[in-house]
Amino acid sequence: MRWALNLLYSANLKDRVYGPNLTRKICECAAAGGIPVYFYGNTGETLDLLRKQINKTWPNLQVAGMEPSKFRRLTVEEKQEVVHRIRNSGASILFVGLGCPRQEIFAFEFRETLDMPILAVGAAFPFLAGAISQAPVWMQNAGLEWLFRLVSEPKRLWRRYVYLNPAYLFLLALQALRLSRFAPDGKSPAEELFYG
């Protein structure tokens, strides 16, 4: 994303916002400020490991709740229940670890019903829980973390990288070549491409 923003808009971004690092920094500040947080996504097992790590690393962090993903689309009733649980938990910050693009869709969809910052943090939960290894820093800096993750979890991630990465690069190329421009009005690029 950082490279795309630099290419398309000359944003001159030197660093990326990396989900695990963002989660660490926010948890540290939330613990110091007594701000309750909520973790939504991944598996119950990963969240149990994450809770243990949080208790060791930030013993003063108020965890208002943790809820695993259902790994499918939520029904209307389930969405209302999720909103009810998160709002009634007392949380002031929501971390969402559903993977790309599900977590971004979740954050967009719930942005008005949840009156708190919603942070899409990728694989931060299993990384911070110690359930999976992070790529070496040199691979992260070279933009090769996806390759490390694909080799580490091929069964789970191959579809994402085979389908989504080429689609992303195609849409990026259309913009870079000025063949198309996607306005930030909530329309999906597919709608804009095919329906005007």
> Per the structure block, which two tokens stand in for 57?
């690393």
31 plus 118 within the same structural domain? yes
- Closest CA relative to residue 89, chosen from 167, 145, 37: 37
Helix (H, G, I), strand (E, B) or coil at 187: coil
CB neighbours of residue 48 within 10 Å: 13
157 plus 122 within the same structural domain? no
Structural domain of residue 143, as residue ranges? 137-195
118 plus 169 within the same structural domain? no
Chosen domain end from 102, 129, 156: 129
Q: Is the pTM of this model over 0.85?
A: no
Q: Which are the contacts of 151, defined by CB distance < 8 A and separation ≥ 6?
A: none
Binned at pLDDT 50, 70 and 90, residue 196 comes out as very low
Number of domains composing the chain: 2
The C-alpha angle 89, 95, 97, rounded to 5 degrees, equals: 125
What is the average pLDDT score of the chain? 88
Single-letter residue type at 111: R
50 plus 94 within the same structural domain? yes
The C-alpha angle 143, 145, 146, rounded to 5 degrees, equals: 100
Q: What is the pLDDT of residues 25-35, one digit of tens each?
A: 999 999 999 99
CA distance 142 to 112: 36
Helices 165-176, 2-9: crossing angle, 10 deg rounding: 10
Chosen domain end from 79, 97, 129: 129
Q: What is the pLDDT of residues 137-161, one digit of tens each?
A: 898 888 888 888 889 888 988 887 8
Give whole-number Cα distances, 120 to 49, 99, 155, 170, in Å. 19, 8, 23, 24
Chosen domain end from 84, 111, 129: 129
The C-alpha angle 67, 108, 14, rounded to 5 degrees, equals: 100
DSSP assignment letter at 52: H
45 plus 92 within the same structural domain? yes
Is residue 173, in this structure, part of any structural domain at all?
yes
Helix (H, G, I), strand (E, B) or coil at 127: helix
CA distance 181 to 174: 8
**Which CATH number is 72's domain given?**
3.40.50.2300
Binned at pLDDT 50, 70 and 90, residue 14 comes out as confident
CA distance 5 to 172: 10
